[in-house]
Amino acid sequence: METEKCVGCQSCMFACSRRVGEAGLARSCIGVRSIGGMERGFSVVVCRACADPPCAKVCPTGALVPREGKGGVRVLPDRCIGCGHCREACIIGAVYWDDETDKPMICLHCGYCVDFCPYGVLGMQEREVENAEE
Amino acid sequence: MLKNDPLENILYIDLTRRTFRIEKRPELFEKYLGGTGAAVQLLHEECPEGCDPLGPESPIIFAVGALTALFPLASKTVALFKSPLTGNLGESHCGGRSAVSIRMAGYGAIVIKGASSMPVYLSIENGRVRFRDASTLWGMGNFSSGRIIRENETGAGLRTIMRIGKGGEKLIAYSCVTTETFRHFGRLGLGAVFGSKKLKAVVVSGKSSLPVSDKKEYRRLYDEVYKAAVESPVMKKYHDLGTAENIVPLNNFGGLPTRNLTAARFEGASRMSGETFAEKYLGRRLACSHCPVGCIHIAALREPYEDISYFYKTSMISYDYEPIYALGTMLGISRPADFLRLMDRVEESWGMDAMSLGVILAWATEAFERGLITKKETMGVRLKWGHVKGYIRAGGYIIDQPNDFYRALARGVEYAASVYGGMEFALAFGGNEMPGYHTGPGAHLGYLIGARHSHLDNAGYSFDQKVLVKKRLKPEETIDALLAEERWRQILSSLVVCFFARGIYTPELVTRLLSIGGIDLSAGDLDRIGRKIHAEKYRFKMREGFALDTVRLPERIFETPSPVSGLDRAYLTKALSYAHKTIEKEFDAAP
């Protein structure tokens, strides 16, 4: 990510909601906000696909499952009780919240937003990660 | 309109009683699309005839449109109010995060009435309004008040922070409201209306979901609009150099107002060009929410402190064509750093409309040269073309208003000239200070007949350069063309589509996009709605005393040659009389 090139248009955020066919921002798992005023530029907050995801480690019901060899997690909504521990464990704030279902929303790394970044700030990268333990 | 679309919600806020209510008004959006169309209806409902623009009964209306947060570039918020500058229709448009935030907070429009007894700011979320004490913020500039509110409120990245500077607090007739530090409801004095209500700021935030009629078709259409926005050559100029790109071509054309329009070419144009700013000062590019274009150009100005060595201040200052014209060429300023210093004060501290202020200072400079005013009036400030220090001091005095002269300047150029003379070179149209185009009869007629006396009402400057430069038209034909453009622009500003995207948003595309939001209209319907909205605006203007047949023509525009011929009093008078009749007819025909 080359965030210094981000102009803050938030096209990625709208793309993320559109991925599920929705308009608006309620379903976005990516966020763009200024670093204390627009004159200083922006930060893009999205799941970094940690090799050993803290969000999964604190989940009491096993609803967040580390993705095999890819980093990041899958959310299993049926197991989730909406406790919000995952949100607190993510120190970059990349666990978004679905207020309708009261459950977390976390980037699936599908890459849909990348196609709607006009300045090449976002990119997709394949990488092998070793999961801590299976 | 689709079921559960939050667009239908109108938030009414009463600052006197500190109460709010939400009403469902789907018809405002089904019939008028939102934006200026919905807002002018609300203005007729909420603004008592003949009221004091700065009285508690005078409303502030914000509206967004049916395409906001659905499609790219529908990202403007329209503000309607009674203008303290002209005494009739006040209309100003602003981007930033404002439009998306309002719709995402669950509203199509916000109406603010009453007045607080102490400084307040409003914090607006879905279904909730908080009235916050703003006593500490009163007297602060745009940057500081923005920073403090940012730290005190939630919703980073999903909010707009609209605020006023000292100009609004001091009720200066052309003070602005700033959002996201660098975007403005610039024209016609919304800042003073905020100030009169002791309203320092409005924060709006939200993150909701919007219904669409067809998910698959929505994504397909979105891709079409997005692709056009990032690839179309019609967007390129806004993207690369920004609007400042216009300086050189307008100067070459001979339509760049210079030194209070004593000339229409500026010898310092290349030094003040978009190219120079990009090369030497461009520090960051920004975009409004949901607009991939990123036309906002921010200069970085690094200056040493005079009193201590090895200390520097780096200021981030936005620039565009219009401020460079008004605070640059109109004042004979040819050093970019000098322009930026003045612009920084205007934007950060004073919170005034750069265009009005520049025209007022230009008039004052000429009046000073001619001896209509002296150092006695200016309190020792020597107003001289190109001398930025004098302009910075004078601007500060407009804020402080230490004497009658500066109090007069705070009311606009026409008022100042009515007291001190020099009306023939007081460049205002319908009471609003002149935009930066002296291209020919199209530009000036456009300002005169435009509902808000802005160059963007009907783009007469563009009509000069594209049509009248090649072919002389009868006054009636010119008026018909300008009115047709202005009626279509009612549709764009009701959808709150940025005018920069007018090349993309054709009537045909608009009808397809609207159907995604469950509004089915034909191109013919859009034409009818545009006429109706335009007539409603004129109905308000005339109700408040505006008359096209008595509007003042500043002598100066006939003295300085314009590149397109036909700019003479007889042509303009004939055109205005025809415009007057045509608009009255339209007005009678409107149901």
Mean pLDDT computed over B525-549: 96
Q: Is B230 within 8 Å of A33 when comparing Cβ atoms?
A: no
Please answer whether residues B299 and B283 qualify as being in contact, where contact means their C-beta atoms are separated by less than 8 angstroms: yes
Query: Whose CA is closest to B501, among B319, B293, B224, B204?
Result: B293
Q: Checking DSSP bridges between strand B199-205 and strand B120-125, what pairing results, if any?
A: parallel
Distance, in Å, from the CA atom of A28 to the CA atom of A32, rounded to the nearest integer, reads: 11
Q: Is B208 within 8 Å of A25 when comparing Cβ atoms?
A: yes
Does A130 reside within a domain?
no
Place of tokens 């006054």: B475
| A103-123 per-position pLDDT tens digit | 999 999 999 999 999 999 999
Give the distance from residue B589's alpha carbon to the nearest chain A alpha carbon, in angstroms: 38
| B398-427 per-position pLDDT tens digit | 999 999 999 999 999 999 999 999 999 999
Report pLDDT for A126. Answer: 81
Residue B240 to residues A8, B225, B341, Cα–Cα distance (Å): 16, 19, 23
Does A129 reside within a domain?
no
Query: Whose CA is closest to A103, among A66, A131, A120, A78?
Result: A78
Does A105 reside within a domain?
yes
Residue B591 has pLDDT above 90, yes or no: no
Element (H, E) at B137: none
Provide the number of structural domains found in chain A: 1
- Residue A46: give its domain's CATH number: 3.30.70.20
Residue A132 has pLDDT above 60, yes or no: no
In CATH, the architecture of B244-429 is Orthogonal Bundle (1.10)
Please answer whether residues B201 and B145 qualify as being in contact, where contact means their C-beta atoms are separated by less than 8 angstroms: yes
Please answer whether residues B153 and B130 qualify as being in contact, where contact means their C-beta atoms are separated by less than 8 angstroms: no
CA dihedral A78, A83, A86, A89 (to 10 degrees): -170
Distance, in Å, from the CA atom of B428 to the CA atom of B431, rounded to the nearest integer, reads: 5
Query: Whose CA is closest to A13, among A2, A23, A3?
Result: A23
Residue B278: DSSP 8-state: H
Average pLDDT score, chain B: 96
Distance, in Å, from the CA atom of B77 to the CA atom of B269, rounded to the nearest integer, reads: 33
Give the distance from residue B288's alpha carbon to the nearest chain A alpha carbon, in angstroms: 6
| B96-139 per-position pLDDT tens digit | 999 999 999 999 999 999 999 999 999 999 999 999 999 999 99
Residue A66 CA, distance from chain mean position? 14
Give the distance from residue A68's alpha carbon to the nearest chain B alpha carbon, in angstroms: 31
Distance, in Å, from the CA atom of B591 to the CA atom of B573, rounded to the nearest integer, reads: 29
Does A83 reside within a domain?
yes
Give the distance from residue B72's alpha carbon to the nearest chain A alpha carbon, in angstroms: 8
Distance, in Å, from the CA atom of B429 to the CA atom of B445, rounded to the nearest integer, reads: 9
Mean pLDDT computed over B258-263: 98
Please give the residue that has the higher pLDDT: either A128 or B548.
Answer: B548
Please answer whether residues B136 and B144 qualify as being in contact, where contact means their C-beta atoms are separated by less than 8 angstroms: no
Question: Angle A101-A103-A109 (CA atoms, 0-180°, nearest 5)?
Answer: 115
**Domain-wise residue ranges, chain B:** 6-205, 244-429, 432-589
In CATH, the architecture of B432-589 is Orthogonal Bundle (1.10)
Residue B262 has pLDDT above 70, yes or no: yes
Question: Which ranges of B273-402 would DSSP assign to H, the alpha helix?
Answer: 274-280, 321-327, 336-344, 354-369, 375-378, 388-400
CB atoms within 10 A of CB A134: 5
Does A107 reside within a domain?
yes
Here the contacts of A93-99 (C-beta below 8 Å, separation 24 or greater) are: A93/A31, A93/A45, A94/A29, A94/A45, A94/A46, A94/A47, A94/A48, A95/A47, A95/A55, A96/A28, A96/A29, A96/A31, A98/A26, A98/A27, A99/A26
Distance, in Å, from the CA atom of A104 to the CA atom of A127, rounded to the nearest integer, reads: 25
Does A132 reside within a domain?
no
CA dihedral B498, B502, B507, B510 (to 10 degrees): -40
**Residues sharing a CB contact under 8 Å with residue B128, sequence separation 6 or more, in sequence order:** none
Q: Measure the N-to-C terminal CA separation of chain A; round to a whole number of Å.
A: 29
Please answer whether residues B35 and B41 qualify as being in contact, where contact means their C-beta atoms are separated by less than 8 angstroms: no
Secondary structure of B536-591 in HEC code, one letter for each residue = HHHHHHHHCCCCHHHCCCCCHHHHCCCCCCCCCHHHHHHHHHHHHHHHHHHHHHCC
Q: Is A116 within 8 Å of B226 when comparing Cβ atoms?
A: yes
**Residues sharing a CB contact under 8 Å with residue B43, sequence separation 6 or more, in sequence order:** B59, B61, B80, B81, B89, B540
Report pLDDT for B587. Answer: 76
Residue A13 domain boundaries: 3-116
Please answer whether residues A9 and B288 qualify as being in contact, where contact means their C-beta atoms are separated by less than 8 angstroms: yes
Query: Whose CA is closest to B265, among B334, B171, B368, B164?
Result: B334
- Per-position DSSP letters for B370-434, written without gaps between them: TTSS-HHHHTT----TT-HHHHHHHHHHHHH--SHHHHHHTT-HHHHHHHHS-GGG--EETTEEP
Report pLDDT for A82. Answer: 97
Enter the tokens of residue A77.
Answer: 């909504």
Q: At B339, is the secondary structure helix, strand, or coil? A: helix
Does A121 reside within a domain?
no
What CATH number does domain B6-205 carry, 3.30.110.30, 3.30.70.1230, 3.30.70.1710, 3.60.9.10?
Answer: 3.60.9.10
Distance, in Å, from the CA atom of B80 to the CA atom of B408, rounded to the nearest integer, reads: 25
Give the distance from residue B63's alpha carbon to the nearest chain A alpha carbon, in angstroms: 17
Write out the residues of chain B at the interface with chain A, using a CB-CB cutoff of 8 A. 69-70, 72, 100, 103-104, 143, 146-147, 150, 156-158, 180-182, 207-212, 215-216, 218-219, 222, 226, 230, 284-294, 296, 298, 316
Q: Is B289 within 8 Å of A8 when comparing Cβ atoms?
A: yes
Residue B396 has pLDDT above 60, yes or no: yes
B103, B104, B290 member nearest A9 (Cβ): B290
Contact status of A114 with chain B (Cβ, < 8 Å): no
Residue A125 has pLDDT above 90, yes or no: no
Please answer whether residues B215 and A21 qualify as being in contact, where contact means their C-beta atoms are separated by less than 8 angstroms: yes
Q: Is A37 within 8 Å of B218 when comparing Cβ atoms?
A: no
Report pLDDT for A133. Answer: 46
Q: Is A18 within 8 Å of B211 when comparing Cβ atoms?
A: no
Secondary structure of A89-130 in HEC code, one letter for each residue = HCCCCCCEEECCCCEEECCCCCCCHHHHCCCCCCCCCCCCCC
Name chain B contacts of A26, Cβ cutoff 8 Å: 207-209
| B274-323 per-position pLDDT tens digit | 999 999 999 999 999 999 999 999 999 999 999 999 999 999 999 999 99
Report pLDDT for A10. Answer: 98
Does A128 reside within a domain?
no
Q: Is B208 within 8 Å of A24 when comparing Cβ atoms?
A: yes
Name chain A contacts of B294, Cβ cutoff 8 Å: 7, 9, 118-119
pTM of the model: 0.97
Q: Is B157 within 8 Å of A119 when comparing Cβ atoms?
A: no
Query: pLDDT over 70 for what percent of chain B?
Result: 100
Distance, in Å, from the CA atom of A19 to the CA atom of B104, rounded to the nearest integer, reads: 18
Residue B174: DSSP 8-state: T
Name chain A contacts of B100, Cβ cutoff 8 Å: 10, 25
Enter the tokens of residue B486.
Answer: 């202005």
Residue B238 to residues B206, B287, B498, Cα–Cα distance (Å): 29, 11, 12
Reading phi first (left if > 0) and then psi (alpha if -120 to 50, else beta), residue A69 is in left
Give the distance from residue A79's alpha carbon to the nearest chain B alpha carbon, in angstroms: 25
Enter the tokens of residue B210.
Answer: 């919007």
Residue B249 CA, distance from chain mean position? 23
Reading phi first (left if > 0) and then psi (alpha if -120 to 50, else beta), residue A45 is in beta
Query: Whose CA is closest to B289, among B190, B159, B185?
Result: B159
Residue B438: DSSP 8-state: -
